[in-house]
Amino acid sequence: MKKIFLFLSFISCHFFAQSQVKIANIGDFTTIKGAIIKDCKIGYLTLGQLNSSKSNAILFPTYFSGKSTDIKGSAAAWVDTTKFCVILVDALGNGISSAPSNTENFPEISIRDMVNSQYIFLTKTLSISHLHAIMGVSMGGMQTFEWMVAYPNFMTKAIPIVGSPKQSYYDVLLWKAEWDAIETAGNNPDARREAMRKVAEIHNLHLFTPAYWNKSKKADEAYNDIQKMGDDYTKGNHPENWISQIKAMLGQDIYQSSGKSMSEISGHIKAQTMIIVATQDQMVNPASAIELGKILNVKIVELTGNCGHVATACESDKVREAVRSFL
């Protein structure tokens, strides 16, 4: 009987791992403001195999505007998928999961709504009641911070990477500038898509540091680069999805959502935590993450190169070493 049980466990775990995106319907989802997303869809894919006790699951939500297929490479590089099952999940608003581009009357959402929808997906669709870890990059890091306060006992470990527990004034200026660049185009869908060219300039300006751009590019290359960026953003990004996730990030504040002050937050967060920041990040200011790390007295890994927000790619080996050691 034991041999049969082990064989069946292997079969179920084997088929859990999948290389193609699947769509889970979690039913009608109510946002924290009381709006309803009818037949809410959550996209996901997995790497590695879930063990029979479901104790090796790691949730990895997407970054801003990203898809689960976009973060597959990072997850495979940073996490030992022979030991862990990584569940890559598409955040609400990204166009794979429910979003303005695929859902009529899609309401305003928050980072907490992304987290709540993922909790329902994990517990109801996958029957997972506890995560070994949750980790994410950028907006995925924001979701990780939010998970830590929304469901403090649901994960053993948490690794927010170049994310923020609370938006800084600088971050708000950046995201509002991108939102305004689309809104100034008016209501014409074609004009709003074309406005993504302006967004491309703002966004890519902040992805890296001035030192990086000046060292890697020449001034006379700028026009062609800007043109290509605009083409890519116009084709690859839906403006209403972009605004939807920007609005979610603008409201990010784990102290407000948890109802805990800075002096109280360490008693509320239960997960063993490691925070990874890029010290020259000009897209997600690292100050709030560093401040929380000091309050929690946890390890803070600093990426110090001139790649700015994209330091996780430029210093991927450092991230990999830190993540694997911590897990």
More confident residue, 18 or 295: 295
Q: What confidence tens digit (pLDDT) does each residue in 213-270 have?
A: 888 877 777 768 778 888 888 889 999 999 999 999 999 999 999 999 999 999 999 9
pLDDT above 50: residue 3? no
* Same domain flag for 130 and 160: yes
- Mean pLDDT, rounded, for 101-113: 98
Provide the number of structural domains found in the chain. 2
Last residue of a domain, one of 192, 215, 247: 247
* Same domain flag for 62 and 113: yes
- Mean pLDDT, rounded, for 120-145: 98
pLDDT above 60: residue 321? yes
* Same domain flag for 51 and 118: yes
190 Cβ neighbours under 8 A, 6+ residues apart: none
Last residue of a domain, one of 247, 266, 297: 247
Q: Which of 116, 115, 123, 124 is nearest to 142 (CA)?
A: 115
- Report residue 39's pLDDT band, with 50, 70 and 90 as the boundaries: very high
pLDDT above 60: residue 4? no
Give the residue numbers spanning the domain of 259.
2-169+248-326
* Same domain flag for 202 and 153: no
- pTM confidence score: 0.94
In order, the DSSP letters of 278-319 are ETT-SSS-SHHHHHHHHHHT-EEEEE-STTGGGHHHHTHHHH
Indicate which CATH number applies to the domain containing 123: 3.40.50.1820
Determine the Cα–Cα distance for residues 121 and 223; give it in Å rounded to an integer.
Answer: 44
